[in-house]
Amino acid sequence: MKIPIINSKRQYETIAKEAEKAVLEVMRSGSYILGNNNKEFENEICKYLNVKHAVTLNSGTDALHLALRALDIGEGDEVISTAFTFVATSESIGIVGAKPVFVDIDPDTFNIDASKIEAAITPKTKAIIPVHLYGQPCDMDVIIDIAKRHNLYVIEDACQAIGAEYKGKKVGTIGDIGCFSFYPTKNLGTMGDGGLLTTNSQYIKDRVIALRNHGGAIRYHHDEIGVNSRLDEIQAAILRVKLPYIDKWNKLRREHAAYYNELFSKCDLIQTPKELDSTYCVYHQYTVKVPNRDKVHQMLADKGIGAMIYYPIPLHLQKVHAKYNFKEGMLPNTEKDTKLVLSLPMFAEITKEEQEEVAKTLIEIVEKTAAAAAV
Ligand SMILES: *Cc1c(COP(=O)(O)O)cnc(C)c1O
């Protein structure tokens, strides 16, 4: 049985009629960029997230770097974040000319270890970017408390965590700014690129609305260097079709995660994901830790199971940040877990039968490779 890590076509089939109608309407309308669908989607997602303002953008990466721009963070500033994330998080810090300062992760959650943030703060620190990795919320109370005491902004990278909650609040609405991605494989994915920035601040909203459209709120009046980061109407229309299903899809992901946990409970070699108290995790990824990970990964692939490694190289050791001369050994938990993590097939439409096949195959392979390594 071939089981991919995500099956976008299976989800498409469940909304095909609605999505095709919505796209056809856009094509016939003659309005293709920042039109009514964008406006309505911004309203609808504000309601869903319970936040005052939402600005649609071209990607999650743009949401992150325009968040920094809107807060006037740039050259000479430092931004604290995690090295255990997709490159877009630290790339956005580099785009505005600021320096990323990486703090190690909590190996239980893979998220930034909030207890280690304070030691990384310097007079140049301007913001913290916690990443709700794999759909698991960061410990936001601790992070907000540190930010308040040191006068720092908090920009949540919620690109993998739409619908996740921390103490009853949706992530992306707890800090000063929330950043979301609608890349097709995200929990709420469109059929191209898309992103969103959320905030309760009218000032930040106005800045970002200007920045996304060449740095001016009024057409052909340009106050600062902006970008073109508009979301097209076709993507906004598809997102409007999908948004009403997000809670159902996230709930299914949680049920699948619980079922994987149960299936793996009989194998001590496989470490299943833990959840922080008072959080609602949305399992963008279901990520386990296994010994002999690279071998296991290859053997799973040989059996047609599409597991993935998110992410094989931590960001402090990536060439893109070479100028900072970050050293191996600097983030021990991050470096250790980079070598152990394996994300398994996870999507709302996966069947129990497929999960059982994934679990049976993984357990067999992990036990076999562990026995071989022991001799
Ligand atoms: C996907 C992702 C991004 C970037 O989003 P894009 O829409 O692909 O630009 C940023 N951060 C994290 C954690 C992501 O998973």
Judge if the beta carbon of residue 131 lies within 6 A of ligand 1.
yes
Average pLDDT, the chain: 97
Please state the atom number of ligand 1 nearest to the C-alpha of residue 186. Answer: 1
Nearest CA among 55, 56, 67 for reference residue 232: 56
If you ran DSSP here, which 8-state letter would residue 109 be given?
T
Q: In the predicted model, is pLDDT for residue 264 greater than 90?
A: yes
Q: In the predicted model, is pLDDT for residue 375 greater than 90?
A: no
Instruction: Quick: pLDDT tens for 240-257.
Output: 999 999 999 999 999 999
Residue from 87, 157, 229, 311 to probe ligand 1 pocket by mutation (most atoms less than 8 Å from CB): 157
For the segment 246-271, the average pLDDT, to the nearest whole number, is 98
Residue 219, pLDDT score = 86
Residue from 93, 181, 284 to probe ligand 1 pocket by mutation (most atoms less than 8 Å from CB): 181
Please state the atom number of ligand 1 nearest to the C-alpha of residue 181. Answer: 7
119 CB contacts (<8 Å, ≥6 apart)? none
Instruction: Identify residue 108 by its one-letter amino acid code.
Output: D
Ligand 1: residue whose CA is nearest its atom 2: 159
Instruction: Quick: pLDDT tens for 218-237.
Output: 888 999 999 999 999 999 99
Judge if the beta carbon of residue 89 lies within 6 A of ligand 1.
yes
Print the SS3 string covering 133-164. Answer: HHHCCCCHHHHHHHHHHHCCEEEEECCCCCCC
Report the C-alpha gap between 271 and 261 in whole angstroms: 9
Burial of 224 (0-12, 13-18, 19+ CB in 10 A): exposed
Judge if the beta carbon of residue 183 lies within 6 A of ligand 1.
yes
Q: In the predicted model, is pLDDT for residue 1 greater than 90?
A: no
Judge if the beta carbon of residue 181 lies within 6 A of ligand 1.
yes
Residue 217, pLDDT score = 84
Tell me the CA–centroid distance for residue 159 and ligand 1, in Å: 5
Residue 28, pLDDT score = 98
For the segment 14-25, the average pLDDT, to the nearest whole number, is 98
Report the C-alpha gap between 240 and 40 in whole angstroms: 8
Judge if the beta carbon of residue 159 lies within 6 A of ligand 1.
yes
Nearest CA among 207, 234, 238, 236 for reference residue 223: 207
Judge if the beta carbon of residue 231 lies within 6 A of ligand 1.
no
Q: What percent of the chain has pLDDT over 90?
A: 97
Residue 283, pLDDT score = 98
Helix (H, G, I), strand (E, B) or coil at 304: coil
Instruction: Quick: pLDDT tens for 57-115.
Output: 999 999 999 999 999 999 999 999 999 999 999 999 999 999 999 999 999 999 999 99
Residue 138, pLDDT score = 98
Residue from 66, 86, 187, 287 to probe ligand 1 pocket by mutation (most atoms less than 8 Å from CB): 86
Judge if the beta carbon of residue 78 lies within 6 A of ligand 1.
no
Residue from 59, 61, 343 to probe ligand 1 pocket by mutation (most atoms less than 8 Å from CB): 61
Judge if the beta carbon of residue 112 lies within 6 A of ligand 1.
no
For the segment 5-18, the average pLDDT, to the nearest whole number, is 96
372 CA to centre of own chain? 36
Residue 297: its H or E element: helix 293-302
Nearest CA among 262, 247, 248 for reference residue 355: 262
Residue 110: both structure tokens together:
């893979």
Nearest CA among 154, 165, 167, 158 for reference residue 201: 154
CB 133 within 8 A of CB 78: no
Domains of the chain by start residue, with CATH: 8-104+111-244 (3.40.640.10), 246-374 (3.90.1150.10)
Instruction: Quick: pLDDT tens for 333-350.
Output: 999 999 999 999 999 999
Residue 374, pLDDT score = 87
Burial of 297 (0-12, 13-18, 19+ CB in 10 A): buried
